[in-house]
Chains A and B, each alone.
Chain A
Amino acid sequence: MQNKFDYIVIGGGVVGAMIARWLSRYEAKTLLIEKEADIGMGSSSANTAIVHPGYDPLPGSLKALMNVRGNQMWDQLAGDLNFPFERRGDFVVAVGDEEVPLLDRLWDQGKKNGVPGMKMLDGPEMRSRERDINPEVSGALWATTGGVCDPFQVTVAAAESAVLNGVTVLLETAFEDFLWEGKQIVGIKTNRGDYFARWTINSAGIYSDEVMHKAGVRPEFFIKARRGEYFIFDRAEVQIHNVLFPVPSSRGKGILVTGTVHENTIVGPNANIIDDKEDTSMTKEGMDELISGAQKLVPGLNLKASIANFAGMRPMGNGPCYTPGIEYNNDYVIEIPANVEGFVNLGGIESPGLTSAPAIAEMVVELLKDAGEEMLVKKDWDPIRPARPHFAHLSHQERQLLCEVDPRFGRVICRCENISEGEIIAEIHAPIPAKTYDAIKRRTWLGTGRCQGGFDMTRVVNILARELGVSPLEITKRGHNSQYLYRTTKNVEVPDAH
């Protein structure tokens, strides 16, 4: 295999995918590597799915700059890449008189950060905008530029756009070390062999500290994993359309209650620092904390209607503030370090990392230009990543037409979310093929409903096996050792997958 590139991006989360997509615009060869069986399986797959307005980060921080710039880019991005995004606005809700001054602090921060479209609401106004809100609401900051998206589809769409414009994506390819020529990084060593590039970009998320240490950069920088747990509710039972934040505390933006683009209500996250970066466990204490947090905003929330829960990690770094002289030690690192060559270093890209991702990609390109890279725009660069049909979202007439064009869309596999076989097959053969159950789940929303895949699981495993030309025994939930099946039953001849 050809192993010489201009740019290598380490890490296929939303930031890495955006960087790859931005680099795909230029006359250069780019490689994106991801250690997992699919892109977007880390923090990008387990977060609140919010596009933040930018009142929350400290003025002067890189977080604030990236957040506000990133937010502005999302309409164009969603249009070009065809992923679900709605600029619904968000509300920071004060309950009781003592919380009202905290809204003023956010207001001031927002103004300093340059957040447009903020409004202060009093209690009755907030109550009129959300019927289920705590009746003791005393006021709210309404930030009209807030949005909600599907972070899985955002990551997939950005990476697909990169692939459609010539970027190579390698999955299950783990960074091991750098290759050097003097002070110059000339490539990387991976579990699949060596790859060479003029520039390597560290976008390793929760492992970005370990990668930069291998480059000899910022030995004092460390990532702490701050775990956030979430509940998802059945859309047939609970309908909260608004994005409702509590007033923030020292532990973060707090436990929010919001409607997703899929119209499920989501509650979370809490925030707990965890030693093991991989330990995305749910805890009993955490679940109790989510319930009381959610009930502060929406006291009548029907907890029985919770159909899923999960936990994600925020990669919290200890980067110094971007603006010298400001006392702040959790800022983003986005830099070309002085002590090595051929290395763009990112670290600590926690919330609002999803919002910031396109701005970070833009900044990486600017840094490369400043470092003397020519960056010639490809004449045939195509910004559009075409959407694939989602059967459940179509009108009756559209469904009829789609079934006539391709009858496989008529066969519904996921009964709660109404995902069809046509959609599943399309994802298995997409520019970045979905080869695991979870890869299909993230791309189609299959198996996320009230039966949690109980009905579709056997069918999806069979479809994957058939389309990939392997035995169902080889199909996994998310790669590595996450297989479904161990062997056939005794004395049973296994019929062909149907």
Chain B
Amino acid sequence: MLIKNKYDVVVIGGGPGGLAAAIEAKKAGAEDVLVIERDVELGGILLQCIHNGFGLQTFKEDLPGPEYAQRFINEAKSLGISFLLDAMVMDLTSQRKLYVSSQDFGYVEIDALAIVLAMGCREKTRPQVRIPGTRPNGVFTAGTAQRWVNVEGYMPGKNFVILGSGDIGMIMARRLTFEGAHVERVLEIQSYLSGLSRNYVQCLEDWDIPLQLQHTVKRIIGKNRVEAIEAVAVDSHWNYIPGTEEIIPCDTLLLSVGLIPENELSKKAGVALDPVTGGPYVDEKFQTNIPGIFAAGNVVHVYDLVDYVSMAGVGAGKSAADFALAEKERSARYIPLVPGKNVRYIVPHRLDKQALEKGDVSLQMRVSKPIEEDVWLEVRNQNNSIVRRSERYARPGEMVTIVLKPNMATELEKSDSLIVDIYPKSEV
């Protein structure tokens, strides 16, 4: 595969939101669609979600994550969408220019007519929830542990405590139990479950894993690897309740304490973010405040079901294609103004072929050298002269203006470019 330097639609992120957006963009008429993915495979975080529960809305079937992803991957491939895998977007501008780094293609610049942000979200970490204690190895986010177990094939612990009743945490409680690890309990600082009830039933209750609401970790213990945690009950303001402390021996603490939309790249392009969701402000077309930059999925706000992420991707992909096509049509109307004989430059540099329908257009330019005799100023296209007028001289210090009139509109419409020449009448 070759990477081009121009695409109609570039989708950043090959997870469920990004794949759905790319597919829809292609279906809606975008010719060149590129998906850029950080990982070596498409599918995003679904690849490590080997449990079922995906696709009930979209396919009316109960699928595991990788299979749900594969259906979109297959469709995207059959549509001829391009993929750039194992690649990182290092920079993004409001002019929709991307700088992409990868081992296979090096460091490349890509221009996109429209962009869909689909970077997903990341997990909150220990420092963000400020858990006191030592800083040994063995404190992982639930998603990182999920990758270790389901993708890499390794067990990152033997005895687990899980903080937070988010879905990934509960699903990992069950998964780790399957793999022969011991999950001591799940602690939740709130008085209610933060994930789906079905996950509580299927992942904790069915496996006799206790959930303690209104409990948190007061302290982590252990020098090199976690040796224990100190759990404590909290009141409704999350204050520790003295006397309820309990030391729980374990070698691993998993955190399932929330997700944050990942928008550092969006910020580089000047995309404005909602402080409540952490994602971009979008309109009904999923367009951000930057024209031509759209956003879909968990990068906008954190969803509960992947099916809704895919639906958002469809919306954003359609809008991105519409934008790209309109942009193409608009730019197809533009023709360049070419400095011809003795002309150093012309402003404007390009011209809408339909500009004269709205009135006069004046062209301003400077000559490259003085001509101290009568001169012609002439504007022509590839076939005909469009307008010609004369001056007594032409000097670099004095700007030259030529006005195009509405009566030249027909000729302009037929032009591929406009050439301006300034030359002595004696040369004719």
Q: Using a CB–CB distance below 8 Å, which chain A residues touch chain B?
A: 231-232, 236, 278-284, 286-287, 306-311, 391, 396, 399-400, 402-404, 407-408, 410-412, 415-416, 418, 420-421, 450-452, 454-455, 457-458, 462, 472-473, 476-490, 492-495, 498
Contact = CB atoms under 8 A, between A and B. Distances in A.
B103 A451 contact: no
A485 B156 contact: yes
B134 A280 contact: yes
12 contacts: A284-B130, A307-B125, A411-B86, A454-B123, A454-B141, A454-B144, A458-B147, A476-B137, A478-B224, A479-B224, A489-B153, A489-B154
B149 A410 contact: no
Given A486-B156, A489-B149, A284 B103 contact: no
B224 A480 contact: yes
B235 to A, nearest CB: 15
Contacts of B143: 454
B264 A494 contact: no
Interface in B122-140: 122-123, 125-128, 130-137, 140
Nearest to A303: B130
Given A280-B135, A287-B130, A476-B137, A485 B123 contact: no
Interface stretch (B104-112, B284-292, B372-380, B385-393): B104-112
Contacts of B108: 400
Contact of A287 (B103, B132, B156): B132
Given A486-B154, A488-B153, 11 more contacts: A280-B135, A282-B131, A311-B135, A411-B102, A412-B90, A412-B101, A455-B122, A472-B154, A476-B137, A476-B224, A477-B224
A483 to B, nearest CB: 7
A280 B147 CA distance: 29
Contacts of A232: 127
B386 to A, nearest CB: 41
Contacts of A280: 134-135
A308 B125 CA distance: 9
Contacts of A455: 122, 144
A483 B225 CA distance: 7
Nearest to A449: B264
B157 interface: yes
B219 interface: yes
B218 to A, nearest CB: 8
Contact of A412 (B88, B125, B131, B156): B88
Q: Which 7 A-B pairs have the closest CB atoms?
A: A412-B88, A403-B106, A482-B224, A477-B137, A411-B103, A452-B125, A492-B153
A454 B101 contact: no
Given A412-B90, A462-B152, A488-B155, A403 B107 contact: yes
Contacts of A451: 122-123, 125
B163 to A, nearest CB: 15
Contacts of A403: 101, 106-107
A457 B144 contact: yes
Contacts of A482: 136-137, 224-225
B101 A410 contact: yes
A306 B128 contact: yes
A88 B14 CA distance: 43
Nearest to A305: B128
Residue of B131, B137, B219 with highest tally of chain A CB at under 10 A: B137
Interface residues of chain B: helix, strand, loop or mixed (majority): mixed
A418 B153 contact: no
A316 B297 CA distance: 53
B305 to A, nearest CB: 23
Given A481-B225, A494-B153, A486 B106 contact: no
B90 A484 contact: no
B110 to A, nearest CB: 12
B85 to A, nearest CB: 11
B341 interface: no
B27 interface: no
Interface of B: 38, 40, 86, 88, 90-91, 99, 101-109, 122-123, 125-128, 130-137, 140-141, 143-144, 147-149, 151-158, 179-180, 218-219, 223-225, 251, 264, 267
B90 to A, nearest CB: 6
Given A411-B103, A451-B122, A488-B155, A396 B109 contact: yes
Given A399-B107, A410-B102, A480-B224, A281 B219 contact: yes
B132 A282 contact: yes
B219 to A, nearest CB: 7
Contact of B137 (A236, A415, A484, A490): A484
Nearest to A311: B135
A10 B140 CA distance: 34
Nearest to B147: A458
Given A306-B128, A454-B123, A410 B107 contact: yes
Contact of B88 (A286, A311, A418): A418
Nearest to B139: A452
A230 B122 CA distance: 24
A307 B127 contact: yes
A261 to B, nearest CB: 20
Contacts of A485: 148, 154-156
A171 to B, nearest CB: 15
A411 B104 CA distance: 8
Contacts of A481: 224-225
A415 B38 contact: yes
A421 B122 CA distance: 21
A283 B132 CA distance: 5
Nearest to A405: B106
A307 B86 contact: no
B107 A415 contact: no
Contacts of B137: 476-478, 482-484
Given A472-B154, A486-B155, A489-B179, A407 B141 contact: no
Given A281-B219, A412-B90, A484 B125 contact: no
Contacts of A452: 125-127
A399 B151 CA distance: 31
A462 B153 CA distance: 12
B198 to A, nearest CB: 25
Contacts of B126: 452
A410 B123 contact: no
A416 B123 contact: no
B106 A279 contact: no
Nearest to B175: A489
Contacts of A454: 122-123, 125, 140-141, 143-144
Contacts of A410: 101-107
